Amino acid sequence: MWEQTSRIYNQAATRIANGFADFLPGVVVFCLIVLVFGILAVAARVLVVRLLRGFNFDQRASQLGLAFLGEWSVAGRPSLALARLLFWAIVILGLLAGLTALDARMPSEFALAIFDYMPDLLAALVIVIVGNILARFLARSVLISAVNMQIQAARLLSIGVKWLVLVLAGAMALEHLRIGRQILLLAFGILFGGIVLALALAVGLGSKEMVTRSLERQIRDAGEDSDKLNHV
């Protein structure tokens, strides 16, 4: 019996030792990958901070509609926030890449799924950033044009355009992330259809006379001034 116990013990010890011997190189590779990605992350952070400072990014960020990035940094500087974002993205990528080296089924599948998702995530991020810049630009265009056309509700129009573009960009980003596709489509259909119908009804029925008077006044005022004054 003692011999049997000893044999089983030896077999178990051998299996554990073999398993540990199989697992250890994976751990070493994991540590190596994490270390390399960590170094890469630090280098990328330093490089990005220098590059963005060279482009005067902290001051341009507000013009590009990226001022919100400043809130993510303790120093209130968008360049630091972006560099930090990149740093942690590379560190997380390194951890995920390292998990595949451990040859564990669940972590590996999770890592591969994340890698598979990455292009969509990046596309969504680009859409959000471009949408933000575009929304800000269009909002300012509408605001300035509306003020120059003497439209009293210039701010309202501008905010409306801004949120329209932001919501559209958000919806496109969510579509890329494959989140709530059907609900999103339905919500948009109902929302925009409702807005257009409400506006049509408001202008067509409720505010017809007011809109007519406003347009007449604008045409009359514009005619009065431009006919009698040559600015150039």
State the residues that interact with another protein by CB under 8 A: 59, 62-63, 137, 140-141, 143-148, 150, 152, 154-155, 221, 224-226, 228-232
CB closer to another protein out of 110 and 137: 137
Sign of the dihedral through C-alpha 75, 80, 86, 87: negative
Q: DSSP of 148-205, one letter per residue?
A: HTT-TTHHHHHHHHHHHHHHHHHHHHHHHTT-SHHHHHHHHHHHHHHHHHHHHHIIII
CB of 51 to another protein, least distance (A): 19
CB of 54 to another protein, least distance (A): 14
Cβ partners under 8 Å of residue 116, min gap 6: none
Nearest to 170 by CA among 135, 142, 119, 199: 135
Count Cα atoms within 13 angstroms, Cβ side, for 180: 11
CB closer to another protein out of 63 and 212: 63
Rounded Cα–Cα distance for residues 101 and 95 (Å): 10
Nearest to 86 by CA among 128, 33, 40: 40
CB closer to another protein out of 18 and 145: 145
CB of 161 to another protein, least distance (A): 14
CB of 214 to another protein, least distance (A): 14
CB closer to another protein out of 69 and 99: 69
CB closer to another protein out of 159 and 184: 159
What region, left, alpha or beta, does residue 39 occupy, with left being phi > 0 and alpha being psi -120 to 50 degrees?
Answer: alpha
CB of 73 to another protein, least distance (A): 17
CB of 170 to another protein, least distance (A): 22
CB closer to another protein out of 29 and 53: 53
